Structure 1
Amino acid sequence: MNTDTNNTTNPTDPAPAPDLVRPFRIAVPQAELDDLRARLRSARWPVEVGGQGWERGVPVGYLRELAEYWADGYDWRAWEARLNAYPQFVTEIDGLDIHFLHIRSGRADALPLVLTHGWPGSVVEFVELIEPLARDFHLVIPSIPGFGFSGPVAEAGWSSGRIAAAWAELMRRLGYERYGAQGGDFGSGISRALALAEPERVVGVHVNGGTTYPSAAEDDPTLTDRERARVRRMNTFMNEAGGYLAIQSTRPQTLAYGLTDSPVGQLAWMVDKFRDMTDLAKELPHEAIDRDMILTHVTLYWLTGTAGSSAALYFEEARAWGEEQASDVPLAVSLFTVQDIALRRDEERINNVVRWNDHDRGGHFAAMEAPDLLLADIRDFFSAYQVQDRG
């Protein structure tokens, strides 16, 4: 793997405060990997109603084959090395150790850019984008509190607003006065919240998937055909696959026992959502996202014990929900097929939308499904801010 971007630090770049930011390297004990494999090999499998496909959830045959590969074919050490090829750090903010990747660009006018993942994702979402983006940006890629190496979280209140405040402090510690923000899923809401908290420092926000849910009914005559398809997709999703939202928003602790104790249970829970939210043209999850990448997300949650605390972000968001505050910070929206359900009218009601791109391939997890398209959109949007707005 090419890691040239790790050695391109410009001597004029700000340096992290040494007393606050500590180097971090992933080094999972072999005993933990052995325990995972033993649990996978001794899993108990449920009875299945035949001939139903995915209608009732993940089919036993599909999951069993995937679990067997996880136990005997998947190579965590290769992915551990891939992540360790990039500089990683930990810093305590608001009582919690925040893990992040920090990759400096060799470009003199590079704009700092903070990238935020979603659920059931992790910093692994961005691995295909790191090297090409680092040619033009200083990259800061944090793990959301309660996810991966930023967790688990044992304190209530870590909603998007609080996470955004932590991101603002992180960027201050790294010496970045002005920067951009990008994200999808929870990352889009956190990026928008960061702009609301620091409108003088955030030069622009780019999101894939939007920041709102459609407010229009499917029979609204003012909708375009594409917009109507998005509203229809949202209604179908909520009726057929939206149960996880209710569970994670109301009973994350109850769910956490099964996810934390059973790797097969955790695998099923996350794979179900990867399939539901990826490109509708792909029948199986690994047809939309590389199988090993899916398993790396799942393994990261398992090894850090954060499946439960990551699910709890839905609980926190449900309780922090209030009147939406308008943002004047420039916002770019990239939508990837009808899997992204935002409507422009809703985004413009609360955001300063300056760019809108619709794509005919990809899905909800754009950084993994269509990284080339997402990369081009990010570069194009932030190119205007490279020189004049550099801190």
Structure 2
Amino acid sequence: MGAIRPFELTVPDDELVALADRLDHARWPEEEPVHDWSQGTKVAALKELVAYWRIEYDWRRCEARLNEIGQFMTEIDGLDIHFLHKRSSRQDAMPLVITHGWPGSVVEFLDVMDELAEPTDPEAMAFHVVAPSLPGYGFSQKPSATGWGVERIARAWSELMQRLGYTRWVAQGGDWGAAVTTAIGQLAPQGCKGIHLNMPIGRPRPEDLQSEDPHVLEAMRRLGFYREWDSGYSKQQSTRPQTIGYSLVDSPIGLAAWILEKIYYWTDNDGSPWDALSMDQVLDDIMLYWLPATGASAARLYWESFAKLGGDTVDIPAGVSAFPNEILPAPRAWVERTLTNLIYWNDLDAGGHFAAWEQPELFIGELRACFARMR
């Protein structure tokens, strides 16, 4: 059995100095000839973020927070996996593995881990929280060979929970985390009592094209927008991840622009990405791509698995929280084709793709409401 090794993050000062130098000597394109984000990340928005990054942003704050929660490494299937692990003091706490996606990271969960583990209300459900970094993301090792798709990650997460001594546990995820969590549900490993998704995977059938249900019509409209205007990143990363990887690893400006566009389009905001997330939150996430140089390795997960999403049904208990500004809203009828034992569904009034990051209190409430039914 692989050892669990403590991991303390201490980024050398010279790496931060080198980043500042790159920001100081950035070459900027001219402003876009449109007044909105329809051509991509606006120059003015990115310059505002970069100015804050260069002068006011404090990486050591984020670094200290990650170390405070508790960081660990363990080798699974030949790959070092980085994870946050916060054990609850409660004897009745439910072990939970929670998985991020792209362009997110484990920093999405920094504002929910304490309350999940040590509820302020002693009657509220508590969790032992395990938050791994996907292979090739954050401080997990970068795969040197092909084959690390969502099914292999699902098996690795099951091994991780077993290795931590958890014999009864649940799983949660959004974005790639939803794909991994769905794969865990499909595998139904011993000990996994159920799953929760904040981005359920559902696809229309030919008969859905004739539907007059407003939920179906809205889902079809959003699916059309995604295909026509919002999926360029996924096409690039699922076909030629290495090509875009050079820019993402070499240019902090290019990396920030690539990520900020999705923060703008995928959050529940009123016209500015900062309506949903702070600059510090966004930069914490960007730094987890910049410092370990994971722009290319993270993109390769699309090459591995983007065309293979879906597949078998999930027959163990499952729950869904549907946030209003999800990229691809899936009506319940679509989701039930995959999640055959759907025991929890709730439509939320606020929040977008990054549920835990944008709406931590709502997110915590959803996990408690769902997993209370799986005890």
Q: TM-score, normalised by structure 2?
A: 0.93
> 1:317 and 1:361 mapped to 2: Cα distance?
30
Does residue 177 of structure 1 match 2:160?
no
Q: 1:246-290 CA deviation, whole Å, 9 max, x = no partner?
A: 1010000001001100000000001111111111x4212121112
C-alpha distance after superposition, 1:132-159 (max 9, x if no partner): 1103011111000010000333221111
1:380 CA drift (Å): 1.1
Matched residues, percent identical? 45
Give 2:280's match in structure 1, choosing from 280, 284, 292.
292
Q: Distance in 2 between matches of 1:261 and 1:49?
A: 23
Separation in 1, partners of 2:204, 2:313: 17
- Conserved 8 A contact 1:183-1:207: yes
Partner AA of 2:293 in structure 1? G
Count of residue pairs the alignment pairs up: 366
Whether the 8 Å CA contact 2:135–2:148 is kept in 1: the answer is: yes
Give the alignment's TM-score, normalised by structure 1. 0.90
- Is 1:86 matched with 2:73? no
Distance 1:343 1:214, change over 3 A: farther
SS for the counterpart of 1:355 is strand
For structure 1, which segment, 198-207 or 138-147, has the greater mean C-alpha deviation from structure 2 after superposition?
198-207
Secondary structure of the 1:240 match is: helix
Q: 2:266 aligns with which of 270, 277, 287?
A: 277
Q: What amino acid maps onto 1:81 in structure 2? A: A
Pairing 1:100–2:90 present: no
Pair 1:143-2:133 in alignment = yes
Residue 108 (structure 2) pairs with residue 122 (structure 1)? no
What's the counterpart of residue 159 of structure 1? Answer: 149
Q: Offset at 1:219? A: 5.3
Pick one of 188, 197, 201 that aligns with 1:198.
188
Per the alignment, do residues 322 and 101 of structure 1 end up closer, same or farther by CA in structure 2, a change over 3 Å counting?
closer
Distance 2:227 2:249 in 1: 26
Q: Which amino acid aligns with 1:365?
A: F
Aligned pair partner of 2:237 in 223, 226, 248: 248
The residue that corresponds to 1:347 in the other structure is 335
Residues 151, 306 of structure 1: 8 Å contact kept: no
Aligned counterpart, 1:22: 5
Question: What is the alpha-carbon root mean square deviation over aligned residues?
Answer: 1.7
For residues 60-90 of structure 1, give each alpha carbon's deviation from its aligned partner in whole angstroms, at most 9, with x where no partner exists.
1111121111111111001111111111110
The separation in 1 between residues aligned to 2:59 and 2:192, in whole angstroms, is 36
SS in 2 for 1:102: strand
SS at match of 1:227: helix
Runs of at least 5 residues in structure 1 that lack an aligned partner in the other structure: 1-16, 387-391
Supply the distance in 2 between the matched residues of 1:222 and 1:53 (Cα, whole angstroms).
32
Matching residue of 1:10: none
By how many angstroms is 1:211 displaced?
Answer: 2.2
Contact 1:260 1:302 in 2 (8 A): yes
Cα distance between partner residues in 1 of 2:306 and 2:52? 36
Matched, 1:189 2:183: no
Would the alpha carbon gap of residues 259 and 233 (structure 1) be closer, same or farther in structure 2, given more than 3 Å must change? Answer: same
Residue of structure 1 equivalent to 2:122? none
Does the CA contact (< 8 Å) of 1:146 and 1:306 recur in 2?
yes
8 Å contact from structure 1 (residues 214, 343) kept in 2 = no
Q: Give runs of aligned pairs for residues 345-384 of structure 1, distance below 5 A.
A: 345-351=333-339, 352-384=341-373
Where does structure 2 lack aligned partners over 5 or more consecutive residues? Answer: 119-125
Contact (CA 8 Å) 1:216, 1:231: kept in 2 or not? Answer: no
Letter matched to residue 367 of structure 2: I
Change (3 A) 1:290 1:220: farther
Distance 1:301 1:110 in 2: 32
| Amino acid corresponding to residue 136 of structure 2 in structure 1 | G
Q: 1:229 is matched with which residue?
A: 218
Distance (Å, rounded) in 1 between the aligned partners of 2:285 and 2:257 = 13
SS in structure 2 at match of 1:268: helix
Deviation at 1:210, TM superposition (A): 0.7
> How far does residue 195 in structure 1 lie from its aligned partner after superposition?
2.1
Separation (CA, whole Å) in 2 of partners of 1:118 and 1:228: 27
- My pick for the range that moved more, 57-66 or 150-159, is 150-159
One of 288, 292, 311 as aligned partner of 2:299: 311
Equivalent in the alignment of 1:113: 96
> Following TM superposition, by how much is the alpha carbon of 1:345 offset from its aligned partner in structure 2, in angstroms?
1.4
Query: In 2 relative to 1, CA 54–176 (structure 1 residues): closer, same or farther, beyond 3 Å?
Result: same
